[in-house]
Chains A and B, each alone.
Chain A
């Protein structure tokens, strides 16, 4: 299977899903009108990945903004990841003082059965 490498736009995030490294990264902004279209290939990729995943899978979510249409899709991404075997960790990045983004991460942490690590950074 091929890795996913998508360059970010003002409305969609940068995506890097690297199978060999077990590294899944979504960063930037996710505010498209139709998120389902954008996230469908990512969810399909994880489905394939779960057939032969790395021992360790690291998921880095580093978002500056996301809309509610994306929030359901991000949940779908996490739900698919719950089925991946091995060690999993979600690194949820948020800008300092951005308590809304921190809370958003905590919402997912409460719903999803994967360990989360909240990481404060100066700028996303």
Chain B
């Protein structure tokens, strides 16, 4: 039986929290401002929803993968998947990141009624993330562009449930997609289920909100229009021009919880989308489930997206990058578990064992 106090002492106290937001908005104990997430008062419930949905509490990831991506070919680097594509939007959308693919997949979902409501993250000032639910295609533009500041967007599940949403689409980071699957997996049998379709994003790390203050200090008086990570560093586009920040400086602002993440490409989503590194203005799309395939096909059929064969060498590079993140973070994970942090993954699972062997192999 694990509840709020266990979440507080195991996850929040150990700084492994990914700020996915799945624990928020159900109860009055867990509170959040910007990127702080705390128990504002102690709860006395021994069997808590928060603990059961949190991706950093013990999870049988294999069983979850089995249930939601059954019989999909596995891959140690980029997870279970059917196919990868090089994709971009046929027509641009204002504020788009890279190929603008996610925006048009979202549009397709609503038009094709794969879901009636979609969970997106906007940012009025182009920096401060604001998650929202919408059933309107016109709202999608608000969410165009990547959010680098960590946003606890999964809190919106509560609002979706209380609005009796039957079919929900979620655009989220790997930790958020993990939480989404755990939520359904641990949901009490008598509770009415919500059908979900998920678009997972690629993610190396998310930034703490102190980065926003840093930008204000670095570029005083300038209005930030866009943030991006093209291959050569961190790009800040303001009304006064384009600035570049060394990636190492930006990385210093990454959230501690991101160091424990073993998923770069949202391996549990129906469809995952990230940048296509070799060419500006294009996305990498990974199809994982039949539902994801259906969505993709629809988007193509409506002429929203253009897709091309995914170059083999880029796929290898992508896998290398993903494994790089995993093996780097594995060190942090192992240290944490050795120090007494409760494992959020089965240490005897094939996945963990394989990753460990790979990491050890790389050291040699």
Q: Do A and B bind each other?
A: no
